[in-house]
Amino acid sequence: MSKRPLGVPFLRWLTQDSWAVLGAFLLAGLVKAGLLKTVPW
Amino acid sequence: MSPAAASAAGVLETPAQPFAWTRLLPGLALMAGVGWLGKLAEQGLAAFAKARHLRLPNVEYVLWAILIGLVLANTVRLPRVFQAGIATCDFWLKVGIVLLGARFALGDVLQLGGISLALVVVEIAGSLALMLWLARRFGLEPKLASLLAVGTAVCGVAAIIAAQGSIDGEDEDAAIAIAAILALGAVALFAFPAIGHALHLSDRSFGVWSGLAVDNTAESVAAGAIFSETAGKLAVLVKSTRNAMIGFVVLGFALYWHRRGQARAVGSKTAFLAARFPRFVLGFLALSALTSLHAFNRGQALVLGNLSRWAFLLTFAGVGLRTDLRGMFKNKFRPLVVGALGEVLIALLTLGLVVAANAVWRL
């Protein structure tokens, strides 16, 4: 039995063939980490 | 994706070349420039009207960006160097949709998603029945009829490409169906907001209608956003619900054609559905859930919302830039007629659904 957390295959499936989801989550991570504080509109 | 279908969708232009990020830059810069001009045009017109005390209608940056892109692409012959970047239009659309999740509370998503799901199921059943009947009346090839029906019922180009692979459809049929869907989507982009204003639909009603009736996701979101920002958000939600059904509809057609001995066996149905489920819909839900769990504060959610707007701005500029008005009606005549007739009837059917839903649930 694999001891990998269940989230790992799910995350791999979620981002597989989907650079857009990966890119959006990366941006969300940057915002959460405080590295992207303001984006004017 | 087959080369013919991909080429018709405008997503593959230079085969067998090593991928280089730099190839994307000219097209990306052009989309950013067109989008920026759209924003300037909206602000400029508003400032002009205010300075002259004129009552001019507010023309959203979305419409400006699409129009500027359309004019550029159809008057100046854009060099091929721009094509790879413009083809990232759908990537930015998905980024925008996922990030927009941060502007939705999960409770609202689930409540509106539940209503959307009920409407989408009726819309898909009605659209499939209507399109298959029309295609038979006009004597279209059965597999072309299947592709057109999937394209109009679910989500345009992505659904046609997914269905073509699953029912062993001809490249030419997929290219015809995609061209018809894109042509009709471009017409809907301008017709829907005009009809919505003429009927005095509310922002929310129009957003739901646009999400239900306009086929390609980019055009559906753009039509909503041309009407208003709220309508654009609702269009994203309803269209994403529609996109989530792609696997089920394609599976139905794959099983049907396999039973007739004209397509491969499906194998594991769960794996089939998982492979075709649009990940960006889950990404949208995940970000909405994270925001509802206070993973982001108000300021951060606002930043994510603004990032989503920039991603949509690139998308809308790309929608204009990739629309080839001259090539649009060079398509075979009968599939286009079937598609156009079907679209009008589906628009009426979904408008009736929206009016009924508004009476029952107060959209």
C-beta separation of B335 from B180 below 8 A: yes
What residues have CB less than 8 Å from B192, skipping those under 6 apart? B206, B209, B210, B213, B214, B223, B227, B347
Contact between B290 and A28 using a beta-carbon 8 Å cutoff? yes
What pLDDT, on the 0 to 100 scale, is given for residue B69? Answer: 93
Residues of chain B contacting A13 with CB distance shorter than 8 Å: 274, 279
pLDDT band at A32 (very low <50, low <70, confident <90, very high): very high
Please give the full DSSP string across B125-193, using - where no structure is assigned.
HHHHHHHHHHHHHTT--HHHHHHHHHIIIIIHHHHHHHHHHHHT--HHHHHHHHHHHHHHHHHHHHHHH
Contact between B98 and A20 using a beta-carbon 8 Å cutoff? yes
ipTM, 2 decimals? 0.79
Contact between A39 and B310 using a beta-carbon 8 Å cutoff? yes
Query: Amino acid identity of B146?
Result: S
C-beta separation of B234 from B204 below 8 A: yes
**Can you read off the two tokens belonging to residue B303?**
């930043």
Residues of chain A contacting B295 with CB distance shorter than 8 Å: 32
- The per-residue pLDDT string of chain B (363 residues; one tens digit each, 9 = 90 and over) reads 444 444 444 444 445 566 678 899 999 999 999 999 999 999 999 899 889 988 877 778 888 999 999 999 999 888 999 999 999 988 999 999 999 999 888 888 888 888 989 999 999 999 999 999 999 999 988 989 999 999 899 877 878 888 888 888 888 888 888 888 888 888 898 999 999 999 999 999 999 999 999 988 899 999 999 999 999 999 999 999 998 898 899 999 999 998 888 888 888 888 888 888 888 888 999 999 999 999 999 999 999 999 999 999 999 999 999 888 777 666 677 888 888 899 999 999 999 999 999 888 877
Contact between B283 and A21 using a beta-carbon 8 Å cutoff? yes
Between A24, A32, A38, which is nearest B99 by CB? A24
Q: Which residue has the higher pLDDT, B196 or A15?
A: B196
